[in-house]
Chains A and B, each alone.
Chain A
């Protein structure tokens, strides 16, 4: 029943921002959001990015967003709704919109599409994402240093390459300071369900994890960690408010500069369907302040961040050893290449678990 309701709710939630009458010179830019704009996580950060872009470009653009659009076939209707109503540039901001975006793009070849975190492109579909695993690697280093029990708790969403790469990067980072680090992984099969995220966080804490990290979007796990007196990493945005004595740091998704760049390109006609994958260096991925850790750990975290930015450290530098003990082919010379990371479907050695469905 819920399945039918969400697109309905999304249609109702259609929010047109900007000035009323649309002058011919204004370009209409649309956004498709996965969650509510107030989720304080994934969608919230895209919304901040949109706001920043609007602030910079002022009356050159008129933007529309649709929130609570569930992934999969249902999203096609919502994307097409934006295409039909004169939007010339449409950002679809979640992995599950990949095929629907391509289908709509085929029908509307003159409209430009930008799909976040996907890997399929077309003459009018570009992709963009952040190298979030760089931040996860730093979190791994911190977690390896800070964990007393030697067990980390990881709340994962869906077994897609991005999430798996995040788990691997975390454990690779942690192994550099504690070779025996263990990780317990719970897949909740949702991006956003505060109750379920809290339940998973409790289960992990009950089973001895003393540092929680998540690839889901709400601050629920941070609050559970705060209640239990253990430590945690925020996700998507700085969640320090929910755990002033709990948060170690948080990966902060910074989409604004990219939305500005892509929209400007569309305005001046230089837009091309590119594959943008920026990280800490380009500031698409930021780290929240390092807190609740001793100075030496903080220094180590800062040095790791600096090394990644300088390009002297790659989280997936070879050799990478898989769970089967065999070395993974090193297609990028000194590190795994982008394709291997974006299509990652194996766990590295040291993770005592199986990828669901494999």
Chain B
């Protein structure tokens, strides 16, 4: 295996959890809801995903456990912010703290346990093709799901009536409500979808990336996913570019260090974040003067008048 191929494989693996979590949050925010609890839902997905895999012996079932855990936490968020109309920012932050604590409790008994990680795809001949074989046909299921998910989200948002309604609700919930669209129902579905994606992203870590569970193993990836949604200016295509750019800079700085290029590692560690800021500036320059690309009702509480 050549070095370039190895680097590409590492980049894909590093980008996948970010892409999964960010894709879910993109739908949530496009519906006008700001859920800052991605980190909490991810770590719950990691703990329950690992527990599920350990109990059933199947990484696939483990991933389903992870999705369910993310959705369960998202349901708490939905109950608070949608049904009870509590402030979204405060609830989201509380959700992260809850998730970190609860996952530590659930996962405590599984620390140090071993599982069989999710298997990588193997297609005779195709996977064996030099260079592109393993990159295209030798990944684990999470990677294919993440790509399919983003394509599906793009299709849904821009090519279906449901997507149009969701975007309308995100841009002006009062207008959408006046037109007779079920604002809260759509937002509930979006929030649960986002929770499921975050749970799956979390489950990727102990089921495929580093096959063991340790409390706090998401190590801030949920926050990066949140930033990526803004970075992508709420568009699925840019989300893929952003997640892979972030993953690529992360991996390349490690390789640059191992080559002994002599660039200070503190600067290298900051590179992914610097790259994010630079791209943000570039994106905002190319946008017209109409203002922010954010959904207009983002983060606002909606209480139906009738």
Q: Which residues of chain B come closer than 8 Å to A35, judged between CB atoms?
A: 216
User: A195 near B221 (CB under 8 angstroms)?
Assistant: yes
Interface flag for B108 (CB, 8 Å): yes
User: A13 near B101 (CB under 8 angstroms)?
Assistant: yes
User: A207 near B111 (CB under 8 angstroms)?
Assistant: no
User: A203 near B254 (CB under 8 angstroms)?
Assistant: yes
User: B214 near A40 (CB under 8 angstroms)?
Assistant: yes
Q: A196-B219, A206-B3 are in contact. Are A223 and B212 (CB under 8 A)?
A: yes
Interface flag for B97 (CB, 8 Å): yes
Q: Which residues of chain A come closer than 8 Å to B250, judged between CB atoms?
A: 196, 199
Closest to B93 in A: A5
Complex Cα spacing A34 to B92, Å: 25
Complex Cα spacing A194 to B264, Å: 22
A residues touching B (Cβ–Cβ < 8 Å)? 1-2, 5, 8-9, 12-13, 35-36, 38-40, 68, 153, 159, 184-190, 192-200, 202-204, 206-207, 209, 218-220, 223, 241-242, 352-354, 356-357
The 6 closest A-B pairs by CB, nearest first: A187-B265, A36-B215, A206-B6, A356-B265, A193-B219, A203-B254
* A-B pairs under 8 A by CB, number: 131
User: B214 near A218 (CB under 8 angstroms)?
Assistant: yes
Complex Cα spacing A357 to B112, Å: 36
28 pairs, A vs B, C-beta closer than 8 Å: A9-B100, A12-B101, A36-B215, A36-B216, A38-B104, A38-B215, A39-B216, A153-B258, A159-B265, A185-B260, A186-B265, A187-B257, A188-B269, A195-B17, A195-B219, A198-B209, A198-B210, A200-B254, A202-B6, A203-B10, A203-B251, A206-B3, A206-B6, A218-B214, A218-B217, A223-B211, A242-B212, A356-B266
B97–chain A nearest beta-carbon distance, Å: 5
Contact of B14 among A12, A68, A195, A197 (CB under 8 A): A195
Q: A68-B216, A199-B10 are in contact. Are A207 and B255 (CB under 8 A)?
A: yes
User: A199 near B254 (CB under 8 angstroms)?
Assistant: yes
Interface string of B103-116 (1 = CB under 8 A from A): 01001100110100
- What would 17 more interface pairs be, CB under 8 Å, given A9-B97, A38-B104, A38-B107? A1-B36, A1-B223, A186-B257, A194-B212, A195-B14, A202-B10, A206-B3, A206-B6, A206-B7, A207-B255, A218-B217, A220-B210, A220-B212, A223-B211, A241-B112, A353-B260, A354-B260
Q: Which residues of chain A come closer than 8 Å to B100, judged between CB atoms?
A: 9
User: B96 near A5 (CB under 8 angstroms)?
Assistant: yes
Complex Cα spacing A220 to B213, Å: 10
Closest to A189 in B: B269
Instruction: Tell me which residues from 186 to 231 in chain B have a Cβ below 8 Å from any Cβ of chain A.
Output: 205, 209-212, 214-217, 219-221, 223
User: B258 near A204 (CB under 8 angstroms)?
Assistant: yes
Closest to A38 in B: B111
Q: Which residues of chain B come closer than 8 Å to A5, judged between CB atoms?
A: 93, 96-97
Q: Which residues of chain B come closer than 8 Å to A353, judged between CB atoms?
A: 260, 262
Contact of B258 among A193, A196, A207, A242 (CB under 8 A): A207
Contact of B209 among A2, A195, A241 (CB under 8 A): A195
Interface flag for B125 (CB, 8 Å): no
Majority secondary structure of chain B interface residues (helix, strand, loop or mixed): helix
Q: Which residues of chain A come closer than 8 Å to B10, judged between CB atoms?
A: 199, 202-203, 206
Most buried by B among A5, A218, A242: A5
Complex Cα spacing A343 to B298, Å: 51
Contact of A203 among B220, B258, B266 (CB under 8 A): B258
Complex Cα spacing A270 to B250, Å: 51
Contact of B262 among A1, A202, A242, A354 (CB under 8 A): A354
B294–chain A nearest beta-carbon distance, Å: 17
Q: Which residues of chain B come closer than 8 Å to A223, judged between CB atoms?
A: 210-212
Closest to B260 in A: A353
User: A184 near B221 (CB under 8 angstroms)?
Assistant: no
Complex Cα spacing A185 to B265, Å: 10
Q: Which residues of chain B come closer than 8 Å to A203, judged between CB atoms?
A: 7, 10, 251, 254-255, 257-258
A52–chain B nearest beta-carbon distance, Å: 19
User: A38 near B214 (CB under 8 angstroms)?
Assistant: yes
Most buried by B among A39, A195, A223: A195
A37–chain B nearest beta-carbon distance, Å: 8
A257–chain B nearest beta-carbon distance, Å: 24
Closest to B107 in A: A38
Complex Cα spacing A159 to B1, Å: 32
User: B212 near A357 (CB under 8 angstroms)?
Assistant: no
Complex Cα spacing A357 to B260, Å: 13
B159–chain A nearest beta-carbon distance, Å: 34
Complex Cα spacing A12 to B1, Å: 47
Q: Which residues of chain B come closer than 8 Å to A190, judged between CB atoms?
A: 219
Q: Which residues of chain B come closer than 8 Å to A185, judged between CB atoms?
A: 257-258, 260
Closest to B17 in A: A195
Complex Cα spacing A119 to B291, Å: 53
Complex Cα spacing A159 to B266, Å: 9
Complex Cα spacing A1 to B211, Å: 28
Q: A184-B260, A198-B210 are in contact. Are A38 and B266 (CB under 8 A)?
A: no
Q: Which residues of chain A come closer than 8 Å to B216, judged between CB atoms?
A: 35-36, 39, 68, 192
Q: Which residues of chain B come closer than 8 Å to A209, judged between CB atoms?
A: 258
User: B264 near A241 (CB under 8 angstroms)?
Assistant: no
User: B219 near A194 (CB under 8 angstroms)?
Assistant: yes
User: B97 near A2 (CB under 8 angstroms)?
Assistant: no
User: B214 near A36 (CB under 8 angstroms)?
Assistant: yes
Complex Cα spacing A352 to B209, Å: 31
Contact of B97 among A8, A187, A196, A356 (CB under 8 A): A8
Complex Cα spacing A89 to B211, Å: 38
Complex Cα spacing A354 to B264, Å: 8
Q: Which residues of chain B come closer than 8 Å to A192, judged between CB atoms?
A: 216, 219
Instruction: Tell me which residues from 98 to 157 in chain B have a Cβ below 8 Å from any Cβ of chain A.
Output: 100-101, 104, 107-108, 111-112, 114
